[in-house]
Amino acid sequence: MTETRKTNPSVSAKIWRTQIIPGLLLVIAAIVFIFFIHTAGTLRIRVFNEKVKPKLEAVELVVNLVVQHLHKTGGEWPKSWTDLESVQLQHQSTLYVWPDDVEKVKKHVSIDFSANSSELAKQSIYEFEAIWPREGFYKDNRRVILFPVLQALRKIYKAKRRR
C-alpha cells in the first residue's frame, strides 16, 4: 500500500520564508560582491598600466642610465640629459626606447644636474634627492628604486679612497 503524504502549506511557506529565500539572497549577495571585487581589481590594474607604470618605468630607466654613467665616468655625476643620452643601455625599457624617448622620460623624472657625486655618496637613502619623480606617486618605494644609484656611488668612492 502506498502512503501519500500531504504537506501542510503553512509549513512549506515557512521553509521558503526562513531558509530558502535567505539562502538565495545570500548567494546573490556573494555573486554581486565577487563581481564588485573583480571589477575593482580590473580597474586598478588598468589605472596602474595607464598612469603609474609609465612614471615608474621612467624613473627606473633614469636610475639605470645614471648608474651606467657613474661606472663609465668613474663616479662623475651627469651634468645634463645629453650626458645620459650617450649611455648605451644593456636592457631597453618596455615602454621607452632610449635615447629616442628622452622627452617623454623628462616629463616624469627630474635630475639635479648640479649635484656633487662625492657628496651624494655620503647621503643616506632618506636624504638622497638628486633624482625624483615629477609627481610623487611612489614616495615610500622611491628609496628602494633609487638605492642602486647610491650603491654605485658608494662603491666607486670606496674604491677611489683605497687608491
Greater confidence, 17 or 106? Answer: 106
pLDDT of 13 higher than 90: no
Cis preceding-peptide flag for 54 (omega within 30 of 0): no
**Residue 102 CB contacts under 8 Å (≥ 6 apart), including other chains:** 81, 84, 85
d(CA 140, CA 143): 7
- Write down the domain spans for the chain: 54-162
Positive or negative, the CA dihedral 124, 129, 130, 136 is positive
Looking at the whole model, is its pTM more than 0.85?
Answer: no
C-alpha grid cell, residue 63: 636610475
Greater confidence, 15 or 11? Answer: 15
pLDDT digits (tens, 9 = 90+) for 66-122: 999 999 999 999 999 999 999 988 777 778 999 999 999 999 899 999 999 999 999
d(CA 163, CA 161): 5
